[in-house]
Structure 1
Amino acid sequence: MKVLVAGGAGFIGSTVVSACLDDGLVPVVLDNLNTGRREFTRDRIFYQGDIADGPLIDRIFAEHPDIDAVVHAAALIVVPESVAQPLRYYRENVAKSVDFLDHLLRNGCQRILFSSSAAIYRPGDDFSVDEDSALEPTSPYGRTKAMLETILADTAAASGLRALSLRYFNPIGADPTMRTGLQLRRPSHALGMMISALESDNEFTVTGVDWPTRDGSGIRDYIHVWDLARAHVQALRRFDDILPVGAARTAEVINLGTGNGTTVKEFVTAFNAVSDRPLRVRETGRRPGDSAGSYTRTGRARQLLDWKPELTLEDGIRHSLQWAARRDDVLDD
Structure 2
Amino acid sequence: MTKVLITGGAGFIGSTVASALIDQGITPVILDDLSKGRREFVRDRIFYQGDIADQALLDRVFAEHPDIYAVLHCAAKIVVPESVSRPLHYYRENVAKTVDLLESLQRNGCERVVFSSSASIYAPTADARADETSPVAAESPYARTKQMMEQVLQDWTVAAPVRVIVLRYFNPIGADPQLRTGLQDPNPSHALGKLIEAHTEGTPFTITGVDWATRDGSGIRDYIHVWDLARAHVAALTRFDAVVEPAADDRYRVINVGTGQGTTVRELVTAFEAAVGESLDVREAGQRPGDVIGCYASGDLAGELLGWSAQKSLVDGVRDALAWREKWTAQLAG
What TM-score, normalized by structure 2, do the two folds share?
A: 0.98
Instruction: Give the match for residue 124 of structure 1.
Output: 125
**Change in 2 beyond 3 A, CA 1:238/1:331:** farther
2:123 is paired with a residue whose SS is coil
The residue correspondences of 1:225-240 to structure 2 (distance < 5 A) are 225-240=226-241
Q: CA deviation at 1:332?
A: 7.1
Distance in 1 (CA, whole Å) between partners of 2:275 and 2:287 is 27
Is it true that 1:140 corresponds to 2:126 in the alignment? Answer: no
Distance in 2 (CA, whole Å) between partners of 1:197 and 1:91 is 34
Instruction: Give the match for residue 34 of structure 2.
Output: 33
Instruction: Give the match for residue 162 of structure 2.
Output: 161
Instruction: Give the match for residue 175 of structure 1.
Output: 176
Q: CA deviation at 1:278?
A: 2.1
Matched to 2:225, the amino acid is H
Q: Is the 8 A contact 1:39 1:330 kept in 2?
A: no
The residue correspondences of 1:1-333 to structure 2 (distance < 5 A) are 1=1, 2-331=3-332
Distance in 2 (CA, whole Å) between partners of 1:25 and 1:326 is 27
Which segments of 5 or more consecutive residues in structure 2 lack a partner in the other structure? none
Distance in 1 (CA, whole Å) between partners of 2:86 and 2:52 is 20
Q: CA deviation at 1:126?
A: 0.5
- Which stretches of structure 1, 4 residues or longer, exceed 2 Å deviation after superposition? 328-333
Distance in 2 (CA, whole Å) between partners of 1:332 and 1:35 is 18
Q: CA deviation at 1:331?
A: 4.4
**Change in 2 beyond 3 A, CA 1:332/1:251:** farther
Identity in percent = 60
Distance in 2 (CA, whole Å) between partners of 1:329 and 1:108 is 44
Distance in 1 (CA, whole Å) between partners of 2:24 and 2:309 is 17
Number of residue pairs aligned between Structure 1 and Structure 2: 333
Distance in 1 (CA, whole Å) between partners of 2:166 and 2:331 is 31
Once the two structures are superposed, what CA deviation does each residue of 1:56-91 show, in whole Å capped at 9, x if it has no partner? 000000000000000000000011110111001000
What TM-score, normalized by structure 1, do the two folds share?
A: 0.99
User: RMSD of the alignment, in Å?
Assistant: 0.9
Distance in 2 (CA, whole Å) between partners of 1:74 and 1:148 is 12
Distance in 2 (CA, whole Å) between partners of 1:306 and 1:186 is 34
